Structures are given as C-alpha cells and as structure tokens.
Amino acid sequence: MSQPERIQPITNLLAEVRSVECPEHGPYESRKTRFPGKDIWTGCPVCIEEFGQRQVRDQERARREAARLRVMQSAAIPARFANRKLSNFVAETDGQRRALRVATGFAETFADALGTGRSMVFCGRPGTGKTHLAIGIAHAIIAKGYTAVFTTAMDAVRTVRETYRKDASKTEREVIRDFALADLTVIDEVGAQLGTDAEKMTLFELINARYLALRPMIVISNLTLREVEQYIGERAFDRLRENGGRVVMFDWGSYRKRGSHES
C-alpha cells in the first residue's frame, strides 16, 4: 500500500513578508515571490505607482509630440522659419513691440478669430520680421490643437494652375475648397508675382473661399498698404479687413542688415 502524500504545512504556502525602508517614502511591507532558482521581493508600492504614472505621462507626451510633428509637417513651414516663435521675436522699437502685441493677441484669441474669420495683413519693408511673426502665430495655435498652413502666393496660384493639366489628380474646385480647410493660412510674398489678371483672379478665389468658410488668413507683402489693395483688388482687400481685420505696418529697418535672418 502506497504511503499517503505528505501535505505541506500551510505556513510554507504563505508568502514571506519583511519590513523594508524606502529612501523616499519610508517603511513598507515587501513580499517574496518564488521563481525557479530565484526569489524576488516586491518593491515600494508608492515607487511602483509613480513609475507607472510616469510611463503613462511619457507615452501621452510622445503621442502629443508625434501629433504635433504631423501637424507641423502638414503646415509646410519652411525649414528656415521652423524655429520662428513669438517668444524669440526681437522687439526693440515701439513699432516692433506693437506688432508683437497684435500678433500675440491674435494667437491668444484665435478661437474668436476662427468664429468670425478675422484676418490680418502684414505689409512693409523686406526683412522686418513679417514672416517671423506670422509663423510665430502658426506655432502658437498649432500648440493649442488648431491647424495652420504656410504658402506663398505664387505656390498657391501654381497649385491651382496644375489642375489644368490632363493628368491632374484634383479639379480646380477641389483645390480651392481644400485651401479653406486649415484653421489658419499664412499667404506670404503677395505681390511678388507678375500680377496678371489670371493670377489676381485666382488669388481672389482662394481668399474668397476662406472668407466664405470663416477661416482666418494672414497675408504678408513687401508692398505698401495701398499697393496691396491694388494688387489683390478691392473685393479681396475688403474681405481681409472685415470683422475687425487688422493691418500691421512694418516700417522699421531690416533685421538682415544686422546679421539676422528675419523676413
């Protein structure tokens, strides 16, 4: 007759417990877990919880950064201007400080601008920081979860022209419609084109599409205010000024002559 199987004492089945001092959180009970050839003692429960929370925060931060990078890529901001922020705009004169205040205020109240389609026109001398402030606004609203797109007037017109090819993937109507999708569009170098009637009409159609969709724009030009109005036409200019649209004149000297790379 076989011997009955010996039953282990219940005390051998219970986890061993010992008191341990955590340098950061004080004493806690550590329990031993047995693995083949190795015993592992549990760590500080507060440290473990904080580690888990850090992991979650790091994952969320990485997710937000990846989303921000995707938005930045779709914004088509040139590498030369990628680091242009409102925070690093050099404002030394009263005019520069006023321009920075207007740009900062626009970014801070962008939700209101998006509700009314309120736009801005930056015009004046080359190299005075117009593009810097406009892209600084784009960076600021992207950080808030909005979308922004940077383009030159010529590139915008060229994109429409490309729809005239037989193998074009989009129609002119679709391109103009897509132009109104981003929450903010920065249109640089207005007036640097030949100024043909066809170009002006295309630019009007693009501006009008955003106007009808209540989508804000920032139009940048090296022309004078009067020249901008003449170039884009009275109707387009009136749309930019509607609902409190602002004009900011950049009438100080060029940063480039001082060794900077402002635009």
| Confidence at residue 261, expressed as pLDDT on a 0 to 100 scale | 47
Q: Are residues 49 and 140 in the same domain?
A: no
Q: Are residues 102 and 172 in the same domain?
A: yes
pLDDT of 263 strictly over 80: no
| Confidence at residue 138, expressed as pLDDT on a 0 to 100 scale | 94
Check residue 126 and report its DSSP letter. Answer: T
Residue 31 placed within a domain: yes
| Confidence at residue 40, expressed as pLDDT on a 0 to 100 scale | 85
Which CATH number covers residue 111? 3.40.50.300
Q: Are residues 86 and 58 in the same domain?
A: no
29-51: b (≥16 Cβ within 10 Å) or e = ebeeeeeeeeeeeeebeeeeeee
Q: Which residue has the tokens 């600021």?
A: 140
Domain final position from 22, 45, 69: 69
Strand, helix or coil at 147? coil
Q: Are residues 241 and 190 in the same domain?
A: yes
Residue 217 contacts residue 210 (beta carbons within 8 Å): yes
Residue 136 placed within a domain: yes
Q: Are residues 92 and 195 in the same domain?
A: yes
* Residue type at 143 in one-letter notation: A
Residue 8 placed within a domain: no
Q: How large is the average pLDDT for residues 181-203?
A: 87
Q: Are residues 172 and 100 in the same domain?
A: yes
Residue 1 placed within a domain: no
pLDDT of 259 strictly over 80: no
pLDDT of 112 strictly over 50: yes
Q: Are residues 65 and 80 in the same domain?
A: no
Q: Are residues 53 and 116 in the same domain?
A: no
Q: How large is the average pLDDT for residues 133-147?
A: 92
- Rounded Cα distance between 218 and 204, Å, is 14
Closest CA to 123 of 197, 214, 188: 188
Q: Are residues 34 and 95 in the same domain?
A: no
Residue 232 placed within a domain: yes
Q: What is the pLDDT of residues 147-173, one digit of tens each?
A: 999 999 999 899 898 999 888 888 999
Residue 129 contacts residue 95 (beta carbons within 8 Å): no
Q: Are residues 237 and 181 in the same domain?
A: yes
Residue 3 placed within a domain: no
pLDDT of 143 strictly over 50: yes
> How far is it between the farthest Cα atoms of the chain?
113
pLDDT of 256 strictly over 60: no
| Confidence at residue 257, expressed as pLDDT on a 0 to 100 scale | 56
pLDDT band at 71 (very low <50, low <70, confident <90, very high): low
Q: How large is the average pLDDT for residues 244-261?
A: 75
Q: Which long-range contacts (CB under 8 A, 24 or more apart) does 51-57 make?
A: none
Residue 100 placed within a domain: yes
Residue 51 placed within a domain: yes
pLDDT band at 108 (very low <50, low <70, confident <90, very high): very high
Mean per-residue pLDDT of the chain: 84
| Confidence at residue 67, expressed as pLDDT on a 0 to 100 scale | 58
Q: Which long-range contacts (CB under 8 A, 24 or more apart) does 199-203 make?
A: 199/157, 200/231, 200/232, 200/233, 202/156, 202/157, 202/160, 202/161, 203/153, 203/156, 203/157, 203/232, 203/236
Q: Are residues 102 and 148 in the same domain?
A: yes
% residues pLDDT > 90 (the chain) = 40
How many independent structural domains does the chain possess? 2
Pairing of the two strands 38-41 and 217-221:
unpaired
Check residue 182 and report its DSSP letter. Answer: S
pLDDT of 191 strictly over 80: yes
**Domain assignment of residue 199, given as a range:** 76-258
Q: Are residues 82 and 190 in the same domain?
A: yes
State the sign of the Cα–Cα–Cα–Cα dihedral 45, 50, 55, 57.
positive
Q: In what order do the strands lie in the sheet with 217-221?
A: 148-152, 184-188, 217-221, 120-124, 246-250
